[in-house]
Amino acid sequence: MEPSIERRQTIEGLADIKLLVDTFYGKVRQDALLAPIFNERIGAHWPQHLEKLYKFWQTVLLKEHTYFGSPFTPHALLEIDHTHFRKWVGLFVETIDTLFVGERAEEAKWRAQKMAEMFEYKNAYYRKESEKRVGG
């Protein structure tokens, strides 16, 4: 049997974070369900969005604190539901499993899943509240 060559790497530094973020949003931008949502909101500002996401994942995974935003806020207004979140998480997990191995890779998947769950829950809550206000 051919010895298998492990091409996947551990997440060690900013270059790995950039590879993760660039690959993931590359997939998002090709995805029929997610691309329109991102494009409508981000438009020509993809470079700035990616910079923000490098900082976000650098902070979460490398504990180098370069992100100082509030990650949920911009999602509250998006028209997204369970199908979108499931797709987002699916592409994220696929990206990690293709590129990386190790503890940080596992942590990245775990964090992404947990945050997606939280965002989905909060989104549904805000939507219900605003329907109550509109609908009386």
Any contact of residue 41 with ligand HEM (CB under 6 A)? yes
Q: How far apart are CA 39 and CA 81, in angstroms?
A: 17
Smallest distance from ligand HEM to CB 16, Å: 17
Q: Using CB under 6 A, which residues numbered 58 to 77 contact ligand HEM?
A: 69, 71, 74-75
Q: How far apart are CA 49 and CA 56, in angstroms?
A: 11
Any contact of residue 115 with ligand HEM (CB under 6 A)? yes
Any contact of residue 78 with ligand HEM (CB under 6 A)? yes
- Would you tell me the crossing angle of helices 82-99 and 103-135 to the nearest 10 degrees? 170
82 is in an annotated binding site: no
Reduced to 3 states (helix: H, G, I; strand: E, B; else coil), residue 27 is helix
Q: Which amino acid is at 112?
A: A
Binding site for ligand HEM (CB under 6 A): 34, 37-38, 41-42, 49, 52, 56, 69, 71, 74-75, 78, 80, 84-85, 88, 112, 115-116, 119
